[in-house]
Amino acid sequence: MDDSEINSEYYYKNHLLTTVKEDGKPYLLFGIPYNSDRGANIYSFTGKENIKTVRLNIQKKNFDIQEIRFNKYKKKSQSELDRIYKERKEIVDAKKTKYDSYPDYNFIIPVDGIVTGVYGTQRYYNGKKGNYHNGHDIAADTGAPIYAPSDGKVMLTGHYYYNGKFVMMNHGNNLISMFLHMDDILVAKGSIVKKGQVIGSVGNTGLSTGPHLHWSVLLNNHYVDPLALVNKVKVKLDN
Ligand SMILES: [Zn+2]
């Protein structure tokens, strides 16, 4: 949206839209929800005094399908379930925490390695449709450095049940990156990080089957393809 009156915050379903600045002008960066229907979609952005609606024609991208077979889940204990619940809540709270800064949304790839998973793949677990893959996987040796893809502030780190050791970074105005399954974390909550700075190393912690980085990126609380920010594609809208 190129509108010089973007001087207040806009929300999409209660989630802050990221405002970026280019050539001194503010723009809203919107992450299209993965499950949007093909064809015309109307999205409403709520500001302090007005609501902006944007009509986007969505084309379906054909994502790959991946079959994953495993032996029956081990039933989780009550203490594991409690832990997962608590960790989920901490993540939700950290995602909502604001960091007022215009992001540099021209990202660099955080790990030098081999791509083993891409954004959007529809996963089937033992034949049952599951979640889509919400990030970009890069395999590398345990201990390989992970570089911040852009400047940002560390909002949360931890060693969680699913994520393993992870870092959540807010690149500014709630453009968020998550780095999962790390071996070592070299930044602390609240640190301001520079693009290219080493934030930790590749590992195999949490729900992971080999050393790799799972990197996911969120805009307005929706996962987007991290590579869209590495190879920025600009779409001009008329309204
Ligand atoms: Zn992954």
Distance 232 CA to ligand 1 centre (A): 21
> What is 65-230's CATH superfamily?
Glucose Permease (Domain IIA) (2.70.70.10)
Output Rg (C-alpha) for the chain, integer angstroms: 18
Distance 133 CA to ligand 1 centre (A): 6
Residue 153 has φ and ψ, to the nearest 5°, of -120, 135
Distance 134 CA to ligand 1 centre (A): 7
Looking at residue 73, its pLDDT comes to 67
Strands 164-170 and 122-125: unpaired
Output the tens digit of pLDDT for each of the chain's 239 residues: 545 455 679 999 999 999 999 888 999 999 999 888 899 999 999 998 889 999 999 988 788 888 877 766 678 899 999 999 999 999 999 999 999 999 999 999 999 999 999 999 988 888 888 889 999 999 999 999 999 999 999 999 999 999 999 999 999 999 999 999 999 999 999 999 999 999 999 999 999 889 999 999 999 999 999 999 997 655 555 44
- Output the pTM of the full model: 0.90
Distance 173 CA to ligand 1 centre (A): 25
Looking at residue 103, its pLDDT comes to 97
Find tokens 């215009």 and name the residue. 102
Distance 179 CA to ligand 1 centre (A): 10
Question: Can you give 142-159 as a three-state secondary structure string?
Answer: CCCEEECCCCEEEEEEEE
Distance 117 CA to ligand 1 centre (A): 6
Distance 112 CA to ligand 1 centre (A): 16
DSSP assignment, residue 78? H
Distance 136 CA to ligand 1 centre (A): 6
Strand order of the β-sheet with 11-12 is: 15-16, 11-12, 39-46, 51-58
The domain locations on the chain are 11-58, 65-230
Distance 176 CA to ligand 1 centre (A): 16
Distance 42 CA to ligand 1 centre (A): 30
Looking at residue 229, its pLDDT comes to 94
Looking at residue 188, its pLDDT comes to 98
Looking at residue 47, its pLDDT comes to 92
